[in-house]
Amino acid sequence: MDEARLRALTPTVIAVLGRRGADFAAAEDAVQDALVEAVRVWPRDPPQDPKGWLVTVAWRKFLDASRADTARRNREERVEAEPVPVPGDAVDDTLQLYFLCAHPSLTPASAVALTLRAVGGLTTRQIAQAYLVPEATMAQRISRAKRTVSGVRLNRPGDVATVLRVLYLIFNEGYSGDVDLAAEAIRLARQVAGMTGHEEAAGLLALMLLHHARRPARTGPGGRLVPLAEQDRALWDTRLITEGVAILQAALARDRLGEFQAQAAIAALHADAPAAEETDWVQIVEWYDELVRLTGNPVARLNRAVAVGEADGPRAGLAALAELDPALPRHTAAAAYLHERDGDLATAARLYADAAQAASNLPERAHLTRQAARLNARLRGPA
């Protein structure tokens, strides 16, 4: 059994322990310990029933921990006396765990960490590596998060949107270290979409698949950023695109549009163009209009302005951009791009250099500096 399939059992096993009376924090710790043991033992002694094995071992770990904790003696007697599972729906319990980990009382960073551990089954060390913080720091973040939600009673379903936002954050971090956070986010989104049947969960899953499909084309040698228009589309993963489009179409057919479906629709239109110049920008602008209507998000407005520049010409794009706050992230980069399209290379070169200074990550800074350099070389004329 591979590691992802093992980790996929995590929320179910936590839920079983919960039904037997274990509180969330203790159940989560016990299941982590059981996962570590599974990784150690299974390669030479694989169990017939992986889930049953994990439940048994996690329950034993939980009892050991309770016994060791004298302050919990009273509860220990109670749980040892009643090891009979309370009947409950396994799918509902797993879903409740997602809601708990994405609870609005948690900060986004805490919700992300707790989700990766309690429903993703990743170790604290793996999560710490992925977010480039010391393991002790991540351990504190997770245990504080567990304390924050320890008093939460979930007797009615939570808001799916909170869970989707957390998964979106995980996906957008891309990946660093051993753990592929994008792949992990896709796995979790697939589970949530399957359990809830929610249109926006499907929309988010489609959005992730469509962007993940472009990953092989997104970076060039030395990690350099390759913009969408210059990507080698033959490198796009057509299997992921096909799946993403099918999931999106089924969601859209139910006529309950949301922001993730709208974003996925834009990604699907890009995926649909055999070459950058065949992109259906008019339809993309229409989807950005929907997105702006649904969210009012200034970043969506900025992207819309760039799309308008493609659909109706750079002057129209610059006019749309002029209505937005210049302090928006990537505003200067968008202006540089539109000025270049408009033929004003000197302004574009200056703005690209300014945008490089404002970039929030190194590949983007290098990319924008390279754009400025390219235009400056043209302005100098042939050497």
Partner 1 sequence: MAKYLLLKHYRGAPEAVNDVPMEQWTPEEISAHVQYMEDFTARLEATGELVVGHQALSPDGMFVRYDGEGRPPVTDGPFAETKDLIAGWTVIDVESRERALELAAELSAAPGAGGKPIHEWLEVRPFLTEPPTITE
Binding site for partner 1 (CB under 8 A): 221-224, 349, 352-353, 356-360, 362, 365-366, 369-370, 372-374, 376-377
Give the residue with the Cβ less far from partner 1, 295 or 369: 369
Least distance CB 361 / partner 1 (angstroms)? 9
Least distance CB 51 / partner 1 (angstroms)? 41
Give the residue with the Cβ less far from partner 1, 215 or 374: 374
Give the residue with the Cβ less far from partner 1, 226 or 294: 226
Least distance CB 329 / partner 1 (angstroms)? 11
The three-state secondary structure class of 382 is coil
Give the residue with the Cβ less far from partner 1, 51 or 370: 370
**H/E run at residue 13:** helix 10-19
Least distance CB 356 / partner 1 (angstroms)? 7
Give the residue with the Cβ less far from partner 1, 171 or 352: 352
Least distance CB 131 / partner 1 (angstroms)? 15
Least distance CB 352 / partner 1 (angstroms)? 7
Angle between helices 160-172 and 181-196 (to 10 degrees): 160
* First-to-final CA distance of the chain: 61
Q: What are the Cα distances from residue 27, in Å, to 50, 81, 112? A: 18, 17, 19
Bridge partners, 225 (sequence order): 219
Q: How far is CA 311 from the centre of its chain?
A: 30
Q: What are the Cα distances from residue 270, in Å, to 208, 253, 276, 291? A: 14, 20, 8, 16
Q: What are the Cα distances from residue 23, in Å, to 5, 116, 142, 153? A: 25, 19, 16, 11
Is residue 8 a contact partner of residue 187, using CB atoms and an 8 Å limit?
yes
Give the residue with the Cβ less far from partner 1, 223 or 326: 223
